[in-house]
Amino acid sequence: MLPSCLYVIELEANEASGHNLDDGEILPEIQESPASWHTIITEQRQQIFELWDVCRVSIIHRTQFYLLFSGDHADQIYMEVELRRLTWLQQHLNKLGSASPARVGNEPTISLSSSIRAVKREREFLAKRLTSLTTEERDALYMEWDVPLEGKQRKMQFINKLWTNPYDFKHVQESAEIVAKLVEFHEGGNISKEIIELNFAVPSDKRHWFMNWNQISNLLHL
């Protein structure tokens, strides 16, 4: 059974597509073979990876989402809502272009330049977090990611290589594992699907979809 807020999302999605449910009508289950489901979820994940990169979405959010939603059938609604959020954001950024967005109250503005700056602050934070690793652990990562052991600003050189190739699944997997280790969260630890679920309730102002992606960054005061 779907959590209440996700059920509302599904109802809204059906209404948006022109399908209204009568009282007592049950949403039909989509019967899919394991092979077809695997294809669908693989395509959705790839779309998400690409849109994360294009829209410069928080790399801490990417890591959190990637680790929590591995592609199980139960993750379908989360994948679909994430795609809806990303599609809206991409359209917003394309429409805005190089113009300066209008500020709404005290809320931060949403633009490609502001997103780039936010990710830059995240990377600077993660570079500082590298000191939580031993020298041996850092050197091993530098060698694995082709960062010169004697070069300058090795920490930033290394961090700047993470989450840069949305088309390489191995790169995505390793980037997520490294970021998760640096910010000390993991599935079953201090993140949960329930927290993500609360952020997925569709707001009347889609601006908040973007702001929720930065929740972790805000808590870290980036």
Domain boundaries, given as residue ranges, for the chain: 37-96+110-124+163-219
Q: Report the pLDDT value the prediction gives residue 18, as an integer from 0 to 100.
A: 44
pTM: 0.73
CB atoms within 10 A of CB 107: 12
Any residues with CB less than 8 A from the CB of 29 and at least 6 apart, and which?
A: none
**Longest CA pairwise span in the chain (Å):** 69
User: Three-state SS for 164?
Assistant: coil
> pLDDT per position in the chain (222 positions), as tens?
344 344 334 444 444 444 444 444 433 444 556 668 788 888 999 999 999 999 999 999 999 999 988 877 788 888 898 999 999 999 988 887 755 554 445 555 678 898 999 999 999 999 999 999 999 999 999 999 999 998 789 999 999 999 999 999 999 999 999 999 999 874 444 455 555 544 444 434 444 444 444 444 444 445
Residue 25, token pair as written in the block: 């009508």
pLDDT score of 34: 65
Phi-psi region of 186 (alpha: psi -120 to 50; beta: other; left: phi over 0): beta
